[in-house]
Amino acid sequence: MLIAEIISVGTELLLGEITDSNAAFLARELAARGVVLHRKTVVGDNLPRLQEAIHTALSRADLVILGGGLGPTEDDLTREAIAAALNETPAEDPVLLAWLEGLYASRGRPMPGVNRKQAWLIPSAEALPNPNGTAPGWFARSSGKFIVALPGPPREMHRMWREQVLPRLPLPDHALHTTTIHTHGIGEGNVAELLGDLCLAANPSVATYARRTGVDVRVAASAPSEAEARTLAAPVLEQVRAKLVQWTWGENTDTLAGKLNQMLNGRTLGVIEAGSAGTLCTLLADQPAFLDAAVTVDHRRLITLGLTPVTLRDLGLVSEQAARELAAGAREHLGADIGLAVVVQTTGEHAGQAYAAVDGDGSAHTVAVNWVGDAAQARDRAAVAALALAYRATRLGGQNA
């Protein structure tokens, strides 16, 4: 078993000015490859504390991954700290230096003197090329342990991790097979009740996660090979699928909008958003079925789009009937095959109340949403509920939802 620790370097992380997305990326990468991550630590641009953190991590783990602190300035101390923790002295590597100078020459600029430290190496370390930046990484071996240093910018880090680090690591003879089932319209507690004892087993494990698009259920099995892991997961996966079929809209990399697009099968979708301010449109970006949308809370404009003045007067804009009329309007006035409308209350006593409606194939369906939260959350939940409604309605075809 390979035990890992991650050390993220940078005072800006300790000031809360940026979120450490690299550590989450590395955590997922390690989990998927059977490497067990025991700790993540964030330290500032401080040589003694960084050196101590590396030293301590090396005493506990087989693999220590450092992110950040490889820039050219005085604040960038990762190289110095690794060298100190391993009791080695960095020296300029002529090959690295030539590469760095070439990089600047190709941009028609002289290399600033400060950048020379990016050409440093220590005897235990080899350099990891960085195709997207000026900071090479380090891959060091010491007493059977591994120390990896990668630059902080995610574009540089992700690629170097995959292309340079992974092939050098003695990864465990181990495969993790995971399937994530996406549901909508059922709460996490109810999912847990439905799954019952399935959630208690360790391998395959079944875990629930509340996401923006509903509750996800992840079934994970670990075995020496991918095929064995898949076989181990299969019976549990079938049980989970059967229990959740009624709420399930997809698996793994599926998106709700993508699944809706697939169900629409060439038919076009017209959208009216009143109160959700384009949130539904952003979810539908990239879907060929998405034809046209009107985004407005202006009453006169909504009336030209199909809302009846009587509904507006008697029931208000945030009503099931208004959503129904606007869904029909989205189909008729925007020239689409299927109309989808969402009306959301974002302020006042009834903030969070929303209705969505879908109209097409000779039938109409509606859903009510009441979400406690701020205006952005209310918009988001309503837009997701509208997509889920349209997915269910088109999956059912002409039947009643």
| Burial of 110: CB neighbours in 10 Å, binned 0-12, 13-18, 19+ | exposed
> Does the protein bind a second copy through residue 299 (CB under 8 A)?
no
* Contact region with a second copy (CB under 8 A), list: 9-17, 222-230, 310-318, 361-369: 9-17
What is the distance in angstroms between the CA of the first residue and the CA of the last residue of the chain?
50
Q: Which two tokens stand for residue 400?
A: 């009643």
| d(C-alpha 384, C-alpha 201), whole Å | 32
Closest Cα partner for 338 from 363, 313, 304, 317? Answer: 363
Of positions 83, 84, 293, 341, contacts a second copy by CB under 8 A: 293
- Which of residues 289 and 328 has its CB atom nearest to a second copy in the complex? 289
Q: Which two tokens stand for residue 351?
A: 């903030």
Q: Which residues pair with 233 in a beta bridge?
A: none
The CB-of-49 to a second copy minimum distance in angstroms stands at 6
DSSP 8-state secondary structure symbol assigned to residue 43? E
The CB-of-34 to a second copy minimum distance in angstroms stands at 12
The CB-of-346 to a second copy minimum distance in angstroms stands at 7
CB 179 within 8 A of CB 251: yes
Of positions 25, 75, 234, 396, contacts a second copy by CB under 8 A: 25
Binding mask 333-362 for a second copy (x = CB under 8 A): -xx----------x----------------
Residues 253-282 that bind a second copy (CB under 8 A): 271, 273, 277-282
Of positions 89, 209, 224, 226, contacts a second copy by CB under 8 A: 209
| d(C-alpha 87, C-alpha 73), whole Å | 22
| Burial of 252: CB neighbours in 10 Å, binned 0-12, 13-18, 19+ | exposed
- Which of residues 127 and 233 has its CB atom nearest to a second copy in the complex? 233
The CB-of-244 to a second copy minimum distance in angstroms stands at 19
- Which of residues 92 and 374 has its CB atom nearest to a second copy in the complex? 374
> Does the protein bind a second copy through residue 291 (CB under 8 A)?
yes
